[in-house]
Each structure stands twice: as structure tokens, then as C-alpha cells.
Structure 1
Amino acid sequence: MSDSNLVWFGSVLSIGSIIFVLSLLGKRTGSQVSQSALQTTQSSIPSTDSDQVRSLQQQCVQLRQELQQQQTQLLTDWQNSTFEQLQSLLISYPTARKMAETKPDLPAKNLIALFTPLENLLEAWQIEPIGAPWEAVPYDPQLHQPDTDDLAAGEPVYVRFVGYRQGNRILCPAKVSRTLPGQV
């Protein structure tokens, strides 16, 4: 059974168990039914129904435990996969940083190749950049974060820092300005 089917099955089973128990208890006032009322009601239920309730409750507990284990496993798998995709960047970054600190005249283009794993990760996650650095574009308040409040939609601006989107969802808008750095 797939993970999504198991989640749906667990949800349906939980809801079914709750509905079944509530139907047995009848209408009660208050927000919670006390444990003694539940036990009293269960003792008045024929043993087969009571056994079914206990069985469903045990299955519900078991499914919740399995879902918790799957959630933990999925998080671990995701972290491992992400680390594998970024591993070469993470290994090279500290050395590149040290080189940049000790050799300030080192051309930045020597470091560009380090970011390929990051670009690959964004591509795998189907995350696309919004704009390109220093690109001239018409201002779009849905896609851009201006550095001043007086920009009008369609006004020409420059992308200072790219933003990111995943499909139609804007993860972070591109930061835009009327001028490029160093211009007045």
C-alpha cells in the first residue's frame, strides 16, 4: 500500500472509529466524554461490539505509530537526498571561503563552478528564478519587491537580487530598484 493510501486509510479508520464510538455513546453535552462514561458505555455494549471497538482503537494506535515512523523516515530520506545533492558544494565551500579570505584578488569566476550543485537542486525541485541580476524588467508587484514604495506597475526597474517561484507559487519576490548599484 502506498504512503498516501496508508494516510487516507488511517484517516478513514480514525474517523470511522470516532463516529462509531460517538454513535454508541449517543448525544452528550460538554466537549469531552469522561473515561468512566466510555467504560460504562462499553460495558453495556454486547461483547462483540465492545471487542470491535477495542480492535479498532488498537488498529488506530498502531496506524498512528506507523505514520509517525514513516514521517520520521521521510524526513531522514529528504535530508539525506538533499545532502547528497549539495555534498560537493558543502565540501568545497569552506576551502573556497578560506581562499577568498587569504587571496582577495582571486577571480570570482574561479568559484562559480561550486554553485552547480545548488543549481541542480533548484532544478530538481522545479524552483525557477524570477529575473536575472541587473536585468531590466517592467515592475510587477506580484513578482517584485521594490526598494521604494512609489513604483507603479509596468515601470522599468532593474533586478538587484533574484527571487524564486515554484510553479505559480512565489517563494520569494525578486528585489528590484529603479537604478543599478553604483548608478545615480
Structure 2
Amino acid sequence: MPNIDLSEKLQDLMQRVGISSFKALSRATGVSERQILRLRQGKLKEMRVDVLLKLSPVLKMPLNELVTTFSSVELLQNPATNQELLQEITNLKIEYDRLQLQLEQQREILLKELQQSTLQLLESLLLQWPTAAQKAQENPEFAAVKIVPLIQKPLEKLLQGWGVEAIASVGTEVPYDPQLHQLMEGTAQFGEKVKVRYTGYLQGDKLLYRAKVSPV
């Protein structure tokens, strides 16, 4: 069987959707350039159906048209084989759509569960903060120190529940570590004392925010 080059057909489709190169198509679809090469060579039988499912929406071409356009002559001359492939793609697309819907539903459920658990941790703040804020507005002499626990305790519970830890408390002096600390001014050598101005946070081994510090 002679070699087939369907690169021009693929480039025409890519041009319609604003994709300039095969490498860009690979990035846009998550399909390897080797698989794209097989498509260009008409080697559809050697490609997994899930790869075609990724290419189809990006190229804005229905799966059956994609199969017809990039099938080899040998495949197209065998209607039975072609029909089996199209039926397999149709069945897998139905399953793909079902899984996508299921994934979206699970995502919504997880989001609601996260929101509910967060609201439970912030319950005292949600219930008491509006009243405390109103009292502070009505009475300028209302001590701000009385409001601090309303914010601090729920926040500490929330961070603890998410496994987030402060790198160091504000005002403390610690040995300078550029991996954990960000200098706000001046210079400091590793291990020299610095003062924490704004705390940073770790979540397990992952650094979320470096603590902002100043030289002592």
C-alpha cells in the first residue's frame, strides 16, 4: 500500500480553528505529536478512540467525519470494518459524554461539601461578626480587641482543618531562610536574625506564602 499524506487536510482544519502548527495542535488537545503523525498518514486503525475524542472538538469536526476524512483508502474500501469502527466510536462517545456528566455532578457535590464544611468552621464568625461590626459603628469607643477573637478563632480552625500552618508569628525573630522568608527591605545572610512582619503559610510540605521579614 502506498504511503498516504493527509497533512494538508489536517492543516486546513487547523487553519479554520486558528491552530498554526502540529505542535500547537498537540498542546491544544493533549494528544502526542506521534499520534498526530499517524492521523496525517491515514493510520486511523493504529489510533486509540479516546485520541480521536480529544481531536474532534478542538478541530470542530464530528467524529464520523473525522474518521471518513483521515481513514486510509484500504479502510474506506472495507465498509464492514469502517462501520464497526464508526459504531465503536459512537458507543465510546456516548460513554465519554456520560462520564463527563458524572464528573461534573461529582464536582458540584464536592464543591457543595467544601462550602458546607467551610461554613461550619466559620459559623461563629458568620453569626457574631455583623452584630459586633454594628456595635463598633454605633460606639467608636468599642474596643477593637473584643472583635479580634471573632475573626482569629474561626480562621485558626479553618486553617487547621486544611492542614495549613503559619511559618512564624508576627513580631517574632527567626533565622533568615530565603526559602521561607521574603525581605521587605535591606539585606540578610542565611541564618541571620530577622523579624517577621507578615506571617507566611505552609500546607504540609508545600509553601503557600513566604513570610515577609525585615533585618533586626
TM over 0.5: yes
Q: CA deviation at 1:76?
A: 2.0
Percent of matched pairs sharing the same residue: 35
Q: What's the counterpart of residue 135 of structure 2?
A: 99
Comparing 101-110 with 142-151, which one deviates more in the overlay?
Answer: 101-110
Is 1:159 aligned with 2:178? no
Q: What's the counterpart of residue 25 of structure 1?
A: 44
Matches within 5 A, 1:113-132: 113-114=149-150, 115-132=152-169
Q: CA deviation at 1:149?
A: 4.4
Q: CA deviation at 1:159?
A: 1.1
Q: CA deviation at 1:26?
A: 4.6
Q: CA deviation at 1:74?
A: 1.4
Unpaired runs of at least 5, structure 1:
1-14, 180-184
Comparing 146-155 with 38-47, which one deviates more in the overlay?
Answer: 38-47
CA 1:33–1:176: 2 relative to 1, 3 Å = closer
Comparing 148-157 with 128-137, which one deviates more in the overlay?
Answer: 148-157
Give secondary structure in 2 for the equivalent of 1:175.
strand
Matches within 5 A, 1:26-175: 26=45, 35=62, 36-39=65-68, 44-46=79-81, 47-114=83-150, 115-175=152-212
Give secondary structure in 1 for the equivalent of 2:114.
helix
Q: CA deviation at 1:33?
A: 9.4
Q: CA deviation at 1:45?
A: 4.0
8 A Cα contact 2:187 2:215, kept in partner:
no
Give secondary structure in 2 for the equivalent of 1:145.
strand
Post-superposition Cα deviations, 1:120-165, rounded to whole Å, max 9, x if no partner, equal 1111101001111211111111111211142222221111221111
TM-score (norm 1): 0.70
Aligned-pair RMSD on alpha carbons?
Answer: 3.1
1:81 counterpart letter in structure 2: S
Question: Relative contact order (alpha carbons < 8 A, sep ≥ 6): 1 or 2 greater?
Answer: 1
Give secondary structure in 2 for the equivalent of 1:79.
helix
Q: CA deviation at 1:38?
A: 1.9
Q: What's the counterpart of residue 22 of structure 2?
A: none
Unpaired runs of at least 5, structure 2:
1-30, 48-54
* Cα distance in 1 for residues equivalent to 2:187 and 2:153: 37
**Number of positions where the alignment pairs a residue of Structure 1 with one of Structure 2:** 158
2:193 counterpart letter in structure 1: P
Q: CA deviation at 1:24?
A: 6.9
Comparing 166-175 with 89-98, which one deviates more in the overlay?
Answer: 89-98
CA 1:147–1:37: 2 relative to 1, 3 Å = closer
Give secondary structure in 2 for the equivalent of 1:54.
helix
